[in-house]
Structure 1
């Protein structure tokens, strides 16, 4: 009687471990998405006070990890970049798209468009 119980317990544990491993592999199969924002700020004070706090909160709540934000930027080839550049990473392209179409960010963006010209795009990264 004990042997069938041990076999059943081993099967249950095996299925559980397999399910956890499968979820981790599935999560790793999505390549990250890098979002690049180029911003020509036309009203620095209003941009910093009104748009930035709302946009930062909306994007952070959506899973954004900021890699670079407004630091020194140099042109290596082609046209010079905008006056402000932000580089972020999301877990996937779908999460990046969801973040930038979320109601909280869309509301913030209405202010951003009043105080600057924004160009934002995403590029799919290499799978880990």
Structure 2
């Protein structure tokens, strides 16, 4: 009976240790935030042709959208573009992969017809 308890204790300790190591590993890679500034030149075509394709491509890549359009104000410097999108990804590599994926690049060909897009990513602070 004592041997059973020892083995059970060892397995529980192993599982706990593995969970802690996994948690530490996840913290080692900070999240990435992608900021898109878009000057839309044809709002109807942009919304109907580009947005659905881009949304699907990015959602399939693990994007978590935090801001999409909405009201913006300038607090300092030049005013923001007509449309701002803020997204979060697990890390910088996943953000880069999402915006260089074949599905997104195809959508972007359409988006470039209806607006001027400036998109950049920044590495966040580990949470």
**TM-score greater than 0.5 by the shorter chain:** yes
Partner of 1:50: 49
1:47-84 deviations in whole A, cap 9, x for unaligned? 11110001011111111111111111111222211111
Q: Which runs of 5+ in 2 are unaligned?
A: none
Total equivalences in the alignment: 127
Q: SS of 2:72's equivalent? A: coil
Q: SS of 1:66's equivalent? A: strand
Q: What RMSD in Å do the two structures reach over aligned CA positions?
A: 1.4
C-alpha distance in 1 between matches for 2:17 and 2:84 = 43
C-alpha distance in 2 between matches for 1:64 and 1:123 = 14
Partner of 2:10: 11
Q: SS of 1:74's equivalent? A: coil
Q: SS of 1:31's equivalent? A: coil
- TM-score normalised by L of structure 2: 0.91
Partner of 1:63: 62
Partner of 2:112: 113
Q: Which moved more, 1:69-78 or 1:2-11?
A: 2-11
